[in-house]
Chain A
Amino acid sequence: MRWPSRAAEGVRAYRLIAGMWIRSTMTYRASFALTVCGNLVLTGLDFVAILLMFSQVDALGGWTLPEVALLYGLSVTAFGIAHLAFGSMASLGGRVRDGSFDTLLVRPAPVLAQVAADRFALRRLGRAVQGAGVLGWALVAVDVDWTVAKVLLLPVTLLCGAVIFGSLFVAGGAFQFLAQDAAEVQNAFTYGGTTLLQYPPSVFGRDLVRGVTFVLPLAFVNWVPAAHLLGRPYPLGLPDGAAFATPLVALVCAVPAGAVWRAGLRSYRSTGS
C-alpha cells in the first residue's frame, strides 16, 4: 500500500479507537473530572518544587523564575501532547507478556495506531493544560524582544517538541518487544527527559548537555529555542539560527523511531500461550 493512504488509514483507526475509549470514559463523568484534576495537581507538583526553590533563591544557574517557567511550560506542554497521543504505548509490554498483542495483529488496521490508541486516556490532557498554563504566565512575565520570527517560533517549537517526545514513546514501545519486563527503562528517557528540560542547561554538566543536544536531541524541545527567545547564549555555542532547525531535528527523531518500530514489530514472537 502507498504511504499516504497507509498513514490516513492509521489516523482513521486511531480516531475510531480513541473515540470509543472517550465515550467509555464519559460514562463516569464525575470520576473523569476528578482524575483530570488529580492529574493536573500531580503534574503541577514539579512546578511547585520549582516555586519552593525560588522562594529561597533569586536565580537558578543564572536563570530567573519567569525564564525557568518558560522552560517548564515548553517542556511540559510538548510532553503532555505527546503523552496524550502516545502514552498508551508504555503498556505494550503487558500485552506482549499476556499474549493479547496477537489480537491487534489480526485486525485490519495499522498496529502502531492500535497500540497508541489502546486505552486512550483523555485525563492525560491534564498535564498539557497545566503546562500550557505555566507557559502562558511565563510568556507574560519574561522579558523578550518579540519579532515576527520569534512569535512564529513558539507554536513550531511546541509541535516539534511533541514530535520529539512522541518519537521517544514510539521507540520505547519498540524496545518493549525486546525488553518486556524492563519497560521501565523508557521512563528514564521520557519522564526523565521532560524533568531534565524543566531546569536551565547551565545547571547540568557539560557532557550531559552535549549528549542531550547532539546524541538524543531533547535540547531542541525547549533549551535551544528558549535560549534564542531570551537572547541568552546556549552553553555549547550553537549558531544563533539553531533554534529554527527544530523541525529538522524533529524529523531526524521521527524517521528512525518509525524504523525502530517496524524492526521491533517484525522481530515479535508470540508467547504462544
Chain B
Amino acid sequence: MGAWRVYPAVAAGSFRRYATYRAATAAGVFTNTVFGLILVYTYLALWEARPGLGGYDQAQAVTYVWLGQALLAMLAVQGGGFESELMERIRTGEIAVDLYRPVDPQWWWLAHDMGRAVFQLLGRGVVPFLFGALFFPAALPGEAAVWGAFLVSLLLAMLVSFAIRYLFALSVFWLLDSQGVAQAVMVTGVFCSGMTLPLNAFPGGLGEVVRALPWAAQLQVPADVLMGETAAPAAYLFQAAWAVALLAAGRLVQSAATRRVVVQGG
C-alpha cells in the first residue's frame, strides 16, 4: 500500500475508534458544558469589573470560553491523545515492533491524532459551542469567509498540538517514566494555551512570553481569527512557523532516539 493510502486509512481508523464510544462522548459533552457554564460566570464577573480586558468585550470573553471547551478535547490540551499510547509503547518496549514497520512513525502518529482530533471536534466540540452561542451573548462573525479562515487556523492548531505532544512523548525514550511527562503535558497545556484565562488578558511581561510560545497557536490564535481580533495571514504565519519548527525538531529527536537508545525490555 502506498503512503498516500496508508496514512488516510490510519486517520479513518482512528476516527472510527473514537466514534465507537458514544456514551463516553455524550458524557464528555455534558462535562465540557458544565465547566463552560462555571467559567462563563467567572469571566462575566471579571469583565464587568474590568471592561475591555485583553481587548475583549463581554461577548468576546464568553465566546472564548465556549471555544475553549469546544477545542479542549480536540487539541488534547490536557493530554490523552495519541501520546499516552505512544509513551506506553516506549515504556514497555513494544515500540521495537513499531520501528520494524515500513511506515514513518511521525506520519503514522500524526495521521492517528488527526483522525482523533476531527472526531473530537465534531463529537465533543460542536454541542457545547452551540449551547453557549444559544444561551449566552456571543461574538460570532456573519461572513462565511471568516469561518473558513478559522477552520484553516484550527488545522494549523492541530498540527502544533500534535508536534508539541510528539516531542513530550519521545522524551520517554530517555526518561522511561510516562507519568511525569503526562503531568508536564497537562500543566503546560492548560496554562500556556490560555484554558484558564485568555492569554490576551495575562499581565505585562508574562503575557508577552506566553503569547509568543507555541501553545498560543492552539486556542488563542484561532479564537482571535474567529472574532476578528487578528488578521488571518499573520496568524497563519505564527502557527505555521511553530508547526514547521516543532515537527522538524520531532524528526531530529526521533532519529536520535531510534539510533542511540536501547529499547526497554530486551
Q: Could you list which residues of chain A lie within 8 angstroms of chain B, going by C-beta atoms?
A: 31, 34-35, 38-39, 41-42, 45-46, 48-49, 52-53, 55-61, 179-185, 187-188, 192, 195-196, 199, 202-205, 208
One of B31, B46, B50, B196 near A192 (C-beta < 8 A): B31
Least CB distance from A46 to B in Å reads: 7
Q: Flag if B35 contacts A53 (CB, 8 Å).
A: no
A185-B180 in contact (CB<8A): no
Interface string of B18-51 (1 = CB under 8 A from A): 0001111011101100110110011011100110
- Asked if B183 and A39 sit within 8 Å, CB to CB, the answer is yes
Does B99 touch A at the CB level, under 8 Å?
Answer: no
8 Å CB contact of B45 from A45, A61, A179: A61
Any A CB within 8 A of the CB of B265: no
Question: Are B197 and A52 touching (Cβ within 8 A)?
Answer: yes
By a CB distance below 8 angstroms, the chain A residues around B186 are 42
| B202 within 8 A of partner (CB) | yes
Quick check: A35 and B179 within 8 Å, CB to CB?
A: yes
- 25 A-B contacts (beta carbon < 8 Å): A31-B177, A35-B179, A35-B180, A35-B183, A38-B184, A39-B183, A45-B190, A48-B191, A53-B197, A57-B46, A57-B50, A179-B27, A180-B23, A181-B21, A181-B23, A181-B24, A182-B27, A183-B27, A184-B31, A188-B35, A192-B34, A203-B41, A204-B41, A205-B41, A208-B37
What 3 pairs across the A-B complex have the smallest Cβ distances?
A: A49-B196, A38-B183, A182-B27
Cβ of B203 within 8 Å of any chain A Cβ, yes or no, is yes
- Known contacts: A35-B183, A38-B180, A45-B190. The answer to whether A185 contacts B41 by CB under 8 A is no
* Distance (whole angstroms) from the CB of B207 to the closest CB of chain A: 9
How far in angstroms is the closest Cβ of chain A from B33?
Answer: 8
Q: How far is the CA of A262 from the CA of B151 in the complex (A)?
A: 49
Cα-based distance from A185 to B28 in the complex (angstroms): 7
Residues 1-32 of B contacting A (Cβ, < 8 Å): 21-24, 26-28, 30-31
- A205 surroundings in chain B (CB, below 8 A): 41
Q: Which residues of the other chain, B, contact A204 by a CB distance below 8 angstroms?
A: 41
Contact of B23 among A39, A45, A179 (CB under 8 A): A179
Determine whether the beta carbon of A199 is less than 8 Å from that of B191. Answer: no
Which A residues are CB-close (under 8 A) to B201?
Answer: 52, 56
A92 CB to closest chain B CB, in angstroms? 14
The complex places the Cα of A204 from the Cα of B38 at a distance, in Å, of 8
A26 to chain B minimum Cβ distance, whole angstroms, is: 15
On whether the beta carbons of B27 and A46 are closer than 8 Å, the reply is no
Known: A45-B191, A61-B45. A52 touches B202 (CB 8 A): yes
Having A58-B49, A182-B26, A195-B35, one finds 19 other A-B pairs with CB under 8 Å, namely A45-B187, A48-B196, A49-B196, A56-B201, A57-B50, A60-B45, A61-B45, A182-B23, A182-B27, A183-B24, A183-B27, A184-B24, A184-B27, A188-B30, A192-B35, A195-B38, A199-B42, A203-B42, A205-B41
Q: Is the CB of B196 within 8 A of A46?
A: yes
Report Cα–Cα, A53/B201, bound state, in Å: 8
Residues of B within 8 A of A48 (CB): 191, 196
Give the residues in chain B near A196, CB-CB below 8 Å: 38
With A52-B196, A184-B28 as given contacts, are A41 and B46 in contact (CB-CB < 8 Å)?
no
Q: Give every chain B residue within 8 A of A187 (Cβ-Cβ).
A: 31
The residue on B at minimum CB distance from A53 is B46
Query: How distant is B80 from chain A, measured CB to nearest CB, in Å?
Result: 11
With a cutoff of 8 Å between Cβ atoms, the chain B residues found around residue A38 in the complex are 180, 183-184, 187
Report how far A52 CA is from B191 CA in the complex, Å: 11
Q: Which of B63-84 contact A (CB under 8 A)?
A: none
Closest chain A residue, CB of each to CB of B26: A182
A49 contact set on B, CB distance < 8 A: 196-197
